């Protein structure tokens, strides 16, 4: 039978639920609807691969690895995992594949759908370890359906974005306008790092740098906004405000 994650839940910087794939047990009951109510729920779609073997009467499954390996699985899983997370009240922030030579890591970063109101600084979404564990169980069942055949093992992680959440698109820059952020901007062959408060609207992106401390007897200087195009952003992260 196809490999499936077991869950070793821990707290490593961001909240993370992990699992190591193993042969899954047969699952029965209604198809997974995104409730995350425990591993092993949901009807499994199996690929026929010839006559049944053994006395269990269980249909065999494809033995070849997922097309494209772990990266192929990550790419194919992005849309259904995003839909699954949304049905559970969360959003999919990022999908990453890491590791080489042994068991790879397939990492999904999730956050609550309820973000800060417009213009309100980001202070974290409050996603919990239990949330990550529930999402991890649901994702495990979905991946078993996507990849029912045997293949190399991998470690599944579902993590929170942390207080320094990555800003992954222009839409997110607009969404988190008013929050402190750190941008790495590449322009004219040079790379600069700017920390400040995002001031973004559709088609008009800028960041107002944090002003240095005022000198004795002088007012704190006003900083001019730095306009940028999203294509110039090499990396962007929110900065926590406690």
Per-residue pLDDT of the chain (242 residues; tens, 9 = 90+): 444 443 333 333 334 444 444 333 333 332 223 333 333 222 222 222 233 344 455 544 444 567 788 888 899 999 999 999 999 989 898 999 987 555 789 999 998 876 555 556 656 667 889 999 999 999 999 988 887 666 567 889 999 888 788 998 999 999 888 889 999 999 999 999 999 999 999 999 999 998 877 778 788 778 899 999 999 999 999 988 76
Q: What is the pLDDT of residue 41?
A: 27
| 233-238, strands of its sheet edge to edge | 226-227, 206-209, 190-198, 180-187, 233-238
- Choose among 224, 87, 212: nearest CA to 142: 87
Q: What is the pLDDT of residue 44?
A: 27
**C-alpha atoms less than 13 angstroms from C-alpha of 21 in its C-beta half-sphere:** 26
Domains in the chain, please, with CATH?
Answer: 4-159 (no CATH), 170-238 (2.30.30)
Q: What is the pLDDT of residue 116?
A: 56
Q: What is the pLDDT of residue 161?
A: 87
Token representation of residue 180: 């402190």
Token representation of residue 153: 């093992």
| Phi, psi (rounded to 5 degrees) for 61 | -125, 165
Is residue 56 within 8 A of residue 46, CB to CB? The reply is: no
Cα-Cα-Cα-Cα dihedral of 6, 11, 12, 13, to 10°?
Answer: 140
Q: What is the pLDDT of residue 48?
A: 24
Residue 232 CB coordination number (10 Å): 16
Q: What is the pLDDT of residue 99?
A: 77
Q: What is the pLDDT of residue 100?
A: 59
């Amino acid at each position: 039978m196809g490999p499936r994650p077991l869950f070793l839940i821990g707290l490593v910087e961001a909240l993370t639920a992990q699992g190591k794939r193993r042969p899954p047990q047969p699952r029965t009951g209604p198809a997974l609807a995104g409730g995350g109510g425990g591993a092993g729920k949901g009807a499994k779609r199996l690929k026929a691969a010839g006559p049944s073997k053994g006395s269990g009467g269980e249909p065999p499954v494809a033995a070849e690895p997922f097309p494209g390996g772990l990266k192929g699985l990550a790419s194919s899983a992005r849309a259904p995992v995003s839909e699954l997370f949304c049905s559970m009240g969360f959003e999919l922030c990022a999908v990453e594949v890491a590791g080489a030579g042994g068991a790879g890591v397939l990492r999904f970063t999730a956050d609550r759908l309820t973000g800060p109101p417009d213009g309100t600084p980001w202070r974290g979404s409050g996603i919990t370890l239990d949330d990550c564990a529930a999402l991890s169980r649901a994702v495990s069942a979905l991946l078993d359906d996507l990849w029912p055949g045997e293949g190399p093992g991998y470690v599944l992680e579902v993590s929170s974005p942390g207080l320094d959440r990555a800003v992954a698109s222009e839409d997110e820059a607009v969404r988190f306008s008013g929050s402190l952020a750190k941008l790495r901007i590449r322009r004219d062959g040079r790379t600069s790092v700017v920390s400040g408060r995002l001031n973004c609207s559709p088609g008009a992106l800028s960041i107002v740098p944090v002003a240095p401390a005022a000198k004795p007897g002088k007012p704190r200087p006003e900083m001019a906004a730095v306009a940028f195009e999203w294509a110039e952003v090499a990396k962007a992260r929110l900065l926590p405000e406690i």
